[in-house]
């Protein structure tokens, strides 16, 4: 399924959709779900074997109900999903995937420092994100959502990334602080 997302084009929210087209944030929500299928967190990242995978959205939420709908009733390795909206950084360390909204651009260095020693998949869409030490950067290429993975940051976060995921990504090795 992740491979199918790579070829999917997005449509601007204002355009009339064709049945097979998805909006940019529908695609990004699907990526967040699928990333969880291809990542192994260290055991201590969860409070117990039934603990959910928590996706946190920091800042202004660009997904609306799309992210909730995408992960509703889905599980990965018998773990359900929980989506939390965070207006600040309180509760950020309780997440497994953190999507940092573009509204938080001025605070990116601070947020990345906060996540620096945590087993959290950090995701954003700013070209500087992986250079600052973030793990995944969404980027648009020819109206398609692509992603870059900072391997140094993923390793520092103790996240094991499946080879299938890595084959689809642009790989960088920006040193995480």
CA 95/CA 121 separation, integer angstroms: 9
**Predicted pLDDT of residue 1:** 54
* Residues of the chain where predicted confidence (pLDDT) is lower than 50: 9-20
**Predicted pLDDT of residue 98:** 98
CB–CB of 132/112 below 8 Å? yes
Q: Give residue for tokens 């790579």.
A: 6
**Chain mean position to CA 75:** 16
Shortest CA distance to 98 belongs to which of 50, 151, 41? 41
Token output for 4: 């199918």
Q: What angle do CA 76, 73, 56 make, to 5 degrees?
A: 70
Q: Output the CA–CA distances (angstroms, integers) from residue 177 to 17, 69, 109, in the order listed.
A: 42, 35, 10
CB–CB of 161/39 below 8 Å? yes
**Predicted pLDDT of residue 21:** 62
**Chain mean position to CA 110:** 18
CA 69/CA 176 separation, integer angstroms: 33
Q: Which residues contact 32 (CB under 8 A, 6 or more apart)?
A: 55, 67, 70, 71, 97, 99, 123
**Predicted pLDDT of residue 12:** 41
């Amino acid at each position: 399924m992740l491979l199918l997302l790579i070829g999917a084009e997005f449509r601007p929210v204002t355009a009339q959709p064709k049945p097979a087209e998805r909006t940019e944030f529908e695609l990004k929500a699907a990526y967040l779900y699928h990333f969880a299928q291809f990542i192994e967190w260290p055991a201590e990242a969860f409070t117990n074997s039934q603990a959910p995978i928590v996706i946190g959205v920091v800042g202004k939420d660009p997904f609306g109900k799309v992210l909730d709908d995408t992960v509703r009733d889905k599980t990965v390795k018998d773990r359900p999903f929980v989506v939390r909206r965070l207006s600040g950084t309180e509760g950020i360390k309780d997440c497994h995937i953190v999507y940092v909204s573009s509204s938080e651009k001025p605070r990116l260095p601070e947020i990345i420092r906060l996540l620096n020693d945590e087993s959290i998949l950090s995701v954003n869409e700013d070209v500087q994100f992986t250079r600052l030490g973030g793990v995944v950067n969404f980027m648009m290429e020819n109206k398609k959502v692509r992603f870059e993975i900072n391997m140094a940051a993923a390793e520092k976060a103790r996240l094991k990334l499946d080879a299938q995921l890595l084959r689809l990504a642009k790989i960088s090795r920006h040193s995480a602080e």
